[in-house]
Amino acid sequence: MIYLKLFLAFLQIGAFSFGGGYAAMPLIQAQTVELYHWLTLSDFTDLVTIAEMTPGPIAINAATFVGNQVAGIPGAVIATLGVVLPSCLFVTILAILYTRYRKLSLMQGVLKSLRPAVVAMILAAGLSILLPAVFPLGTLRSVDWLALLLFLGAFLLLRWKKWNPILIMVGCGVVELIVELIH
């Protein structure tokens, strides 16, 4: 019975967490802490930390973590399948529809009109991360000059020099470490 509960709980999370991992966190908390009491609030905080620091999507990492906590490795597999299944079905249906109707002018028009919206969403997400990093107190007087310089340097290296993003992230981390050690 626990396996069915795990599967259905994470199936709901996978089906209704539009907007990515951060949007899924309230749903995960509602299912795991409030509804089923599989985790305490303290455990949930640890879950968020672990899901953030491990590679992969947050919701999948959370499902694997909770499933393992509740029912061991089989629970981890079942919870992970539950959270992934809705996306897999949705993307498969979209791929079939796209393959079948991609040459229709209506489909091309819809896709063409969606591109600016997708770019706007990516830009909005980027700004919501950039602004607090560069202006930690939310005012123009509170500029974190190192963060601004690292952002500009990373942007230039990514855009015009086509450097490897991983090298740039490591480099920024090293620069921050050196600055902290000097101060």
Confidence of residue 26 (pLDDT cuts 50, 70, 90): confident
Task: Determine the pLDDT at residue 67.
Answer: 97
pLDDT tens, residue by residue, 112-141 = 888 888 788 788 878 877 888 889 888 888
pLDDT tens, residue by residue, 86-109 = 999 999 998 999 899 888 888 888
Q: Helix, strand, coil: what percent of the chain each, to 5?
A: 80, 0, 20
**3-state secondary structure at position 60:** helix
Task: Determine the pLDDT at residue 111.
Answer: 84
pLDDT tens, residue by residue, 44-61 = 888 888 887 788 888 999
Task: Determine the pLDDT at residue 102.
Answer: 85
Q: How many other β-carbons are positioned within 10 Å of the β-carbon of residue 6?
A: 29
Better pLDDT: 31 or 50: 31
- Average confidence (pLDDT) over 136-164: 92
What's the rounded Cα separation, in Å, for the pair 49 and 147?
A: 23
The pair phi, psi for residue 39, each rounded to 5°, is -130, 150
What's the rounded Cα separation, in Å, for the pair 41 and 56?
A: 23
Better pLDDT: 125 or 14: 14
Q: Is 0.85 topped by the overall pTM?
A: no
